[in-house]
A and B are shown apart, each in its own frame.
Chain A
Amino acid sequence: MSTNQAKKPRKNALVLFIHKLGSPPWFYNFTGKLIPWLWLLFGVLAAWGLYLGLVRAPADYLQGESFRIMYIHVPAAWMSMMIYGLMAVMGFIALVWRIRTMEILAMSSAPIGAAFTLAALISGSLWGRPTWGTYWVWDARLTSELVLLFLYFGVMSLYAAFDEPRKAARAAALLALVGLINLPIIHFSVNWWNTLHQPSSIGVTGSTIHPSMLWPLLIMAVATKFYYAANLLTRARLMLLEQDFRKSWARDAINGVAAPTTHGEPD
């Protein structure tokens, strides 16, 4: 590994960055500085987005006030899919290059993604009550979210089933990758199944959306991304500390000593 690095110095900034992320003390220190800003950005954006969405945006012509659930439901649904994709990509990197921090990032993503999926499902069925008159309809989007939740459960329970954490992470990452390849197929087949069995499908969102309704949605979409980043890094840091608690850098970190940057200085 180290000889390889010496042979081809800084070929690619991204590769270099990934290598640096691979060093636990560097990752711990770097994310320690980053996380407070991420939480702050999330807080400000979420407050702003919710204020605009829940207070300032006008009530919907057709759905009345209930459409405001959209500001939770839609960003949560977007995040649930994005996180699954990211988890699988990070899992792929972890599998191919055996980078431990990537394993940790991929596995820390799973519960966050599952929580967003659950939020999308619950908000979706609450939204369904005033819209469809029932809490659950086998609508294509809700069904897809449900399957996605099962996929998350699979990854999480496989990860939990192994004793050895690194073996667990590799197995779960492989499953996430297989799931990612299947996800588009599942998505399209569920959509198609829906049109097959319910010719007159009930649309949830209107075809056009007023800018005063759209802006809060976009702000919330950005805010949830900061939430994901902050939550992910917080979890990953803790998991790293837990795994490395016997190593000197981790003990220093726990005791409040600044960890020495042994793995190359930042350039």
Chain B
Amino acid sequence: MLTVSQLSFERFFQPVFVPLDFRLDPGSLLLVTGVNGCGKTTLIRLLAGILTPTSGSIQSAANGRAYVGHMLAIKDDLTVLENACFMQQFLGPGSRSVNEVIRIVGLRAVAGQLARTLSAGQRKRCALARLLFSAASLWLLDEPYSNLDDEGIQLVDTLMQEHLGQGGACVLATHGRHRPPMENSAEIRLQAGCTQS
């Protein structure tokens, strides 16, 4: 699904991480770990196409990408339902209805509330709804577990398992201790870039 070779990204003329090579096959998960500031978010944003590599290449055979990052892209002035409706209309007609998705992410009780009234964990769940509307085969998750309760963590793992089962692939960046219980998963530990001399 993804072939990454000699990927590097420079900020202030310094590589953010040591050049990377990896492959990601359909149905598999790639865990990206490492200490704070080692470039996990940068890597995810590179894979998402938001950033352009300074050198190296990312070859993608993915049919679209879906991304949940630190910034949740939820509008405070819209209700959960309105946020979800916009996601569905914008991302295209998926197989699931808005109500179904809201139920899956466990926000049915607050569907009519403005997003600004939600707790941090509920907001995260609302952002996760995006994955369910998207038909993308590559999921890019940047710290999906943060702010979530045990049940929410379970939800993320279940969603990923289903996605991988359908031939999708997933890149997950995390600095936490929780590891998703996937069989075909690989892990890369990012190392912060050092100056080349």
A and B associate: yes
Task: Using CB atoms and an 8 Å cutoff, list the residues of chain A in contact with chain B.
Answer: 1, 98, 163-166, 243-244, 246-248, 251
> Are the CB atoms of A247 and B12 closer together than 8 Å?
no
Mask of B3-44 contacts with A, CB within 8 angstroms, 1/0: 000000011111000000000000000000000000000000
> Are the CB atoms of A247 and B11 closer together than 8 Å?
no
Chain B residues within 8 Å of A246, by CB? 13-14, 195-197
- Complex Cα distance, B197 from A251, in Å, reads 9
The answer to whether B55 has its CB under 8 Å from any CB of chain A is yes
CB distance from A105 to the nearest CB of B (A): 17
> Are the CB atoms of A1 and B14 closer together than 8 Å?
no
Determine the residue in chain B with the shortest Cβ distance to A246.
B195
Classify chain B's interface size. Answer: 10 to 19
Contact of A164 among B11, B195, B196 (CB under 8 A): B11
Contact of B13 among A98, A244, A248, A251 (CB under 8 A): A244
The answer to whether B117 has its CB under 8 Å from any CB of chain A is no
> Are the CB atoms of A164 and B12 closer together than 8 Å?
yes
Contact of B12 among A1, A165, A251 (CB under 8 A): A165
- Complex Cα distance, B16 from A164, in Å, reads 13
Number of A-B contacts (CB under 8 A): 20
> Are the CB atoms of A98 and B55 closer together than 8 Å?
no
CB distance from A35 to the nearest CB of B (A): 23
Chain B contact residues, majority secondary structure: loop
Task: Using CB atoms and an 8 Å cutoff, list the residues of chain B in contact with chain A.
Answer: 10-14, 52, 55, 195-197
From B11, B12, B13, B195, residue with most partner A Cβ within 10 Å = B13
Chain B residues within 8 Å of A244, by CB? 13
Chain B residues within 8 Å of A248, by CB? 196-197
Chain A residues within 8 Å of B55, by CB? 1
A165-B12, A244-B13, A246-B13 are known; give 17 further A-B pairs, CB within 8 A.
A1-B55, A98-B52, A163-B12, A164-B11, A164-B12, A165-B13, A166-B10, A243-B13, A246-B14, A246-B195, A246-B196, A246-B197, A247-B196, A247-B197, A248-B196, A248-B197, A251-B197
Determine the residue in chain A with the shortest Cβ distance to B56.
A1
Determine the residue in chain A with the shortest Cβ distance to B6.
A2
Determine the residue in chain B with the shortest Cβ distance to A248.
B197
CB distance from B14 to the nearest CB of A (A): 7
Determine the residue in chain A with the shortest Cβ distance to B196.
A247
- Complex Cα distance, B11 from A244, in Å, reads 12
Q: What are 20 A-B contacts with C-beta separation under 8 Å?
A: A1-B55, A98-B52, A163-B12, A164-B11, A164-B12, A165-B12, A165-B13, A166-B10, A243-B13, A244-B13, A246-B13, A246-B14, A246-B195, A246-B196, A246-B197, A247-B196, A247-B197, A248-B196, A248-B197, A251-B197
Chain A residues within 8 Å of B11, by CB? 164
- Complex Cα distance, B53 from A1, in Å, reads 11
Chain B residues within 8 Å of A163, by CB? 12
Q: Which 9 interchain pairs have the tightest Cβ spacing?
A: A246-B195, A243-B13, A248-B197, A164-B11, A164-B12, A244-B13, A246-B13, A247-B196, A246-B14
